[in-house]
Amino acid sequence: MQLLEGRKTARELEGKLQERVLEMIEKHGRAPKLVVVLVGDNPASLSYVKSKEKACQRTKIDSKIIKLPKTVSQDDLLKVIRDLNKDSKVDGFIVQLPLPEHIDESTILNEVAPEKDVDGLSLLNAGKLMNRQSGFVPATPKGVMMLLNHYSIPLRGKHAVVVGRSNIVGSPMAKLLLNNDATVTVTHRYTENLKHYTLQADLIVVATGVVNLITADMVKEGAIVVDVGINRVGDKIVGDVDFENVKEKTSYITPVPGGVGPMTISALIHNTMDAFLNKMENSKK
């Protein structure tokens, strides 16, 4: 069994990214800029936003957090987004999810200009992924692909079983694996006999938020297991996989924490760099 070390991989990739950022500062007089819009004070969101800010600082990407009260109206939030869309110094921005209940998530996400939508959650970017066109891909599934690629794990012809079908993780994950020539099965909360499918998997990617959903009896000998889940149990963070028992059967497995989480942040800042490069390229046309 080998660990897929997300934290270590993310740091290595950040080192390379920082070199490119420094080149960009030299060439264009400024660094790429990411803005994170945070509504309310959800502790998990605050901690994710801080990690994103720290990753920007490490790579010299310019970052800013716009904090809004959880009572902010949808119209006022839309206005903030429109201003960011117009701001020529902002290359990419994200609206941290979840949003308070009085705000319609898809209205907000679709207001983000596609060329600045570094979370890849607008309909246009989702559609591009669906049609195998290049666009921004949501950070978590992109981070998983970067991790698999870093460990040179072949996907062509392999059977990948994705557990979970959210717009943020499971569905784009399945499409990325399919676009990389894996044979993909998507499972979800209504799947009957989940084990029947996971036992056939060369690669399992699980993103459900259900602690210990994947147990050792559900995993084929030598399979690769990627655990996206982040669950707080007491004062510990665990994934969706019964790690201690499952790890013995796998060829590769991600730890939680230190697996997919840091890769998600890495993918986001790589998307920000891409948004910056696209803008510089387009300004020449």
Q: Which residues lie near ligand NAD (CB under 6 A)?
A: 140, 163-166, 168-170, 187-189, 191, 194, 207-210, 213, 228-231, 260-261, 264
**Contact indicator for 25, 277 with CB cutoff of 8 Å:** no
In angstroms, the Cα distances linking 211 to 99, 204, 229, 231 are 24, 15, 8, 7
Q: How many CA atoms lie within 13 A of 67 on its CB side?
A: 7
Length, in residues, of the chain: 285
Q: CB-wise, 197 or 276, nearer to ligand NAD?
A: 197
Question: Of the residues 117, 119, 240, 242, which is catalytic?
Answer: 119
Q: 155 or 213, CB closer to ligand NAD?
A: 213
Whole-number minimum distance, CB 4 to ligand NAD, in Å?
Answer: 13
Give the three-class secondary structure for 131.
Answer: coil
Q: Is 202 tagged catalytic?
A: no
> CB pairs under 8 A, 24+ apart, for 236-239?
238/211, 239/206
Q: Does the annotation mark 249 as catalytic?
A: no
Least distance in Å: CB of 240 to ligand NAD?
Answer: 6
Is the CB of 156 or the CB of 190 nearer to ligand NAD? 190
Does 96 qualify as catalytic in the annotation?
A: yes
- How far is residue 68 from each of residues 116, 117, 145, measured CA to CA in Å? 20, 19, 33
Q: How far is the CB of 30 from ligand NAD (least distance, A)?
A: 28
Q: Which of 33, 62, 91, 96 is catalytic?
A: 96
Specify the residue, 135 or 138, whose C-beta has the smaller distance to ligand NAD. 138
Which residues are catalytically annotated? 52, 96, 119
